[in-house]
Amino acid sequence: MAIRPQRLDTIAPVIASFSISQTASVDDLKDADIGKAVTISANTTVSPCADGDLTLGKLIALTLTDADNGERVASVQIGGICRLTTATAFPVVGNRIVGAVDGAVKQAPALVADDPAGGAIGRGTVLEVNGTTDCLVLFN
């Protein structure tokens, strides 16, 4: 009997609902962004992670449709274990992460000489890295 692989990303996720930030009255998040990293914008709104942004969590779902600007709500995994796409500088196990381009994440930079790579501005702890594709992160 073979051992089944672990599905750590299904264990006790913490999900919260947020309003979506807008640019020129158009929501900054669309259905194509589901599964990507998001950041907190202002006044409890979320937007896609940009390079170096503090990562709030993973966009899990959006209510309504892309045409319903200003009325949608975002469900974001802010705690637990989740898988996120990675970009350069790729994290390694034990690192913390920050936002990268197009909703991906990357290794958090060191802030000062005695701050380790994956330093203090990062969030989460990387548990597994799948080459240059994605990583498993514990948000605690």
pLDDT band for position 117 (50/70/90)? low
Which residues fall within 8 angstroms of residue 10, CB to CB, at 6 or more apart?
none
Which residues fall within 8 angstroms of residue 115, CB to CB, at 6 or more apart?
none
Measured CA to CA, the distance from residue 6 to residue 12 in angstroms comes to 14
- 89 prior amide bond cis, ω within 30: yes
Measured CA to CA, the distance from residue 75 to residue 17 in angstroms comes to 5
Q: How many residues does the chain have?
A: 140
H/E element, 61: strand 57-62
For residue 42, is pLDDT > 80?
Answer: yes
Q: Between β-strands 105-107 and 97-99, what pairing exists: parallel, antiparallel or unpaired?
A: antiparallel
For residue 118, is pLDDT > 60?
Answer: no
**Mean per-residue pLDDT of the chain:** 91
For residue 98, is pLDDT > 60?
Answer: yes
Nearest to 136 by CA among 91, 75, 103: 91
**Tokens read off for 97:** 């992460």
For residue 113, is pLDDT > 70?
Answer: no
Entry pTM: 0.89
For residue 22, is pLDDT > 70?
Answer: yes
Residue type, 49: C
DSSP conformation class of 123: B
**Tokens read off for 44:** 């409890």
pLDDT band for position 11 (50/70/90)? confident
Q: Higher-confidence residue: 5 or 126?
A: 126
